[in-house]
Structure 1
Amino acid sequence: MTSGRAGQAGDRAEAAGATPGPRLDLERYVPALLTFVANKLSHSASATYQRRFGVNVTEWRIMSLLAIEPGIPAARICQVIGFDKGPVSRTLASLEKRDLVAVEADPDDARRRLIRLTMRGEALHDEIIVVALERERRLTACLTPEQRDTLIDLLNRLHANLPALATPGTSRRKHPM
């Protein structure tokens, strides 16, 4: 499947007598499919949560993690969710200002700050999670229970295999200077 500028470039190369290079099949290229689904889920979640609860999707992700792991440092949030320190720090500041999270010094390490949901944050979490779980149910309604379990297993395997992308590839082409 080719589309847009890449497709046009390939068409021009063919018309000029050149053999076009490889093209992605966006209906089978896993990174693109994951990105497309994630982007659309994130956009619709953010619109829904912002409109109904005054919380954006980044705030919700952090709140949901804090409900699972109360009293964790920001570094743990970054590790689990995969966000950089800057956006997490800004989001935590916003949540703290709205009394949804509390940030306290770690009694074992004064340099580290531990974050937890406040009572108000817990209450808001408990409202949002009902909507989040319903969105998940609607998303996966097209799957049988066995297919859903398989999807979850495969996504967990891909997630665990992400470190493989950090290893430099062995088939890198050298570009002439």
Structure 2
Amino acid sequence: MTPDMLVDQWRRGLRIAHRAHYEAAKYYYRMHLVLSLPAVLIAALLSTTVFAQLQDSTVAWVRVAMAVLSVLTVVLSSLQAALRFAERSERHKTAAVQLGEVRRELEQQLVFEHRDEAVIERLRKKWDAADRQAPTIPSRIYDRVAAMVAELGDKPPRAAK
């Protein structure tokens, strides 16, 4: 493999990993909201004041609905705590930022056609360090981003009109 081929392979890999970590961060943040917002809303609905007033109700279905909602709140809160979507989102965002720095430095080297071996070695070490700390990207997100990067080639994404 020639140095040019290696650098091109790195550039492509960094573009995919950088974008995929951002996509994973967005996905896990959405999942965090999907679990946390209903839990908060249901918990607010089931506040002790409201629940105490409903105890006097003779309508059995209202008491059953409140019991089901309280169990649902516990389940949603437990899932939120166990799956840690917010934490996972932040870890992917941090990885994306670190990989973005490496990608931009590499692209800067390519633009100025100054391929100093020491600089390339430093970039590889930064990339290795970022990879060691980065969470695993879900394969469906990675595959989707890899297909997008392959489709775009070396063209930058179009600006929104």
Normalised to the residue count of structure 1, the TM-score between the two structures is 0.27
Q: State which structure, 1 or 2, has the greater radius of gyration over its C-alpha atoms.
A: 2
More strand per residue: 1
More helix per residue: 2
Q: Which has the higher contact order (CA 8 A, sep 6+)?
A: 2
